[in-house]
Amino acid sequence: MASPLGVGGPAHEADQVTLPYASVQRLVGELVPCLRLTAGARDLLRVACTRFVRHVSSEANTACAHAQRKTISPEHVIQALERLGLAGSMGELRACHAEFRALALSRRRRATRRLEALGVPEPELLRQQQALIEQARRELLPPTPPPPRTLSPA
């Protein structure tokens, strides 16, 4: 008979998607460095964490569908956590999300600045790129032979 957390149940553990052992161990080590877990406790914790992630994912998917979107966004995950009654850590989560968005925005701006720093307008860069591609094509592909000449009867 299966346990409440699904360990040792009829579905083989290898058939189920779970969090990696190393990830769970690393998280436990970071959060509580002086704590040691037995293999059984680590397995139960891994299964519980996997179930939690699935539950939050399911709620986020519901929020995504309600918003008529196809991709789950961080906002959908935050809504799911609030709906599950985990609003206590929302301040830290929102701050982390804002930091991530700022970092992503600065990376995009840096890439744009690099293009602008070249001093060449984008249409000119595109023309140069197409010329280079055509040159490479001429160098790599064999020349096409001329069409055969047919002799016309005189």
In a domain, 47, yes or no: yes
For residues 11 and 81, state if they share a domain.
yes
Q: Are 17 and 42 in contact (CB under 8 A)?
A: no
Q: How many domains does the chain have?
A: 2
For residues 12 and 62, state if they share a domain.
yes
pLDDT of residue 71 exceeding 90 = yes
Q: What pLDDT, on a 0 to 100 scale, did the predictor assign at position 58?
A: 96
Report the alpha-carbon distance of residue 121 to residue 128 in Å, rounded.
Answer: 11
Q: How confident is the model at residue 111 (pLDDT cuts 50, 70, 90)?
A: confident
Dump pLDDT digits (tens) for 12-37. 555 678 899 899 889 888 988 898 88
For residues 6 and 40, state if they share a domain.
yes
Using left for φ > 0, alpha for ψ between -120 and 50, and beta otherwise, residue 85 falls in left
In a domain, 129, yes or no: yes
Letter for the amino acid at 2?
Answer: A
Average pLDDT, the chain: 84
- The residue-averaged pLDDT of 132-152 equals 83
Q: What pLDDT, on a 0 to 100 scale, did the predictor assign at position 129?
A: 92
Q: What pLDDT, on a 0 to 100 scale, did the predictor assign at position 1?
A: 42
- The residue-averaged pLDDT of 113-137 equals 85
- The residue-averaged pLDDT of 71-100 equals 89
Q: Are 83 and 71 in contact (CB under 8 A)?
A: no
* Domain encompassing residue 63: 1-85
pTM of structure: 0.57
- The residue-averaged pLDDT of 56-75 equals 95
